[in-house]
Amino acid sequence: TVTAGVVAVQGDVSEHADAIRAAARAHDEEADVREIRHAGIVPECDLLLVPGGESTTISRFLHREEIAPEIAAHVDAGKPVLATCAGLIVLSSDANDDRVETLDLLDVSVERNAFGRQKDSFEAPLDVTGLDDPFHAVFIRAPLIDDVGEAEVLAEWDGRPVAVQQGPVVGTSFHPELTTDHRLHGLAFFEHVTA
């Protein structure tokens, strides 16, 4: 059994928990999912999920509760993290917004609420490195990844990176928890090859 932690300040916590359990089962594993609302839980987790929501709120919460350094230690130890939408913004090296204190664990710079500005949300099939068939991605006021430093691009939409990986950290500008397809959680958590 693996212990999975989901940052639970806002966002689709139960959907992510379900997706993690399903992805674990698909890999002959079992996941014990814990909600992270205070320090002390992250060090017990094998894998971490930072969901969407508002990156200002989430980053403030992670610093105030002193969870941010625990996440950095988790990544340092080579353990997987999946960060989606606002989670990606929080883990980035630069959110181009003073209200977001980024964790600088994923070397990308992002622009908040910039993807698909004309429509607040949209859906698209994506070719993702490591997945055999397209992944149906749901974008909701998604961040635009405008610079990919050390990170590797796993998927693009309209010529723009929308899924990236750096070491044990995978970030998506879309919401992989909103469909019944759990392959992205599987890829980030159970097919991850640690350095």
Among 54, 70, 107, 181, binds ligand GLN (CB under 6 A): 54
Smaller CB separation from ligand GLN, 24 or 86: 86
Angle formed at CA 128 by CA 36 and CA 14, multiple of 5 degrees: 25
* 3 state SS of 18: helix
We find the least distance from the C-beta atom of residue 90 to ligand GLN, in angstroms, to be 8
Residue type for position 179: T
Smaller CB separation from ligand GLN, 75 or 86: 86
* 3 state SS of 88: helix
H-only helix segments in the chain: 13-26, 55-64, 68-76, 86-91, 183-190
Contact between 143 and 117 under an 8 Å Cβ cutoff? The reply is no
Catalytic annotation present for 175? yes
Contact between 101 and 63 under an 8 Å Cβ cutoff? The reply is yes
**Which residue among 16, 175, 182, 192 is the active-site one?**
175
Q: Which stretch binds ligand GLN (CB under 6 A): 48-56, 72-80, 147-155, 160-168?
A: 48-56
What x-and-dash track marks residues 95-114 binding ligand GLN by CB under 6 A?
-----------------xx-
Catalytic residues: 85, 175, 177
Binding interface with ligand GLN (CB under 6 A): 52-55, 85-86, 89, 112-113, 140-141, 143
